[in-house]
Amino acid sequence: MNIVNEKNGVMSDQIGKLTGFYISKQYPDEIRKVAYYDKKTNRTFVYLTNNIEITSEQVALLCKNR
C-alpha cells in the first residue's frame, strides 16, 4: 500500500547518488526521484531529475505537462 499526499499526489521524494562503477565516475552529482499518482488516470509516474531546488509537486507537474 502506497501513501499518497491527497493534496498534490506526491507519493515519495528521494535524493540519492548513482553507485555503479562507471556511472558514478561519469555522473557524480545527486539525482532526485519523485513518484507521483495521477488520480484522473489512476496511474503512477516516476520522474528522475537533477533539479534539487524546486518542490516535488513542481517536478511532477512540469514533467506531467510536457
Rounded Cα gap, residues 48 and 29, in angstroms: 13
pLDDT tens track for 28-37:
999 999 999 9
Q: Give pLDDT, residue 5.
A: 73
pLDDT tens track for 5-46:
767 888 999 999 999 999 999 999 999 999 999 888 999 999
Q: Give pLDDT, residue 2.
A: 60
- Residue 26, CB half-sphere, CA atoms under 13 Å: how many? 4
Rounded Cα gap, residues 2 and 4, in angstroms: 6
Q: Give pLDDT, residue 65.
A: 77
Q: Give pLDDT, residue 1.
A: 47
Domain boundaries, the chain: 10-64
Note whether 55 and 66 are within 8 A (CB). no
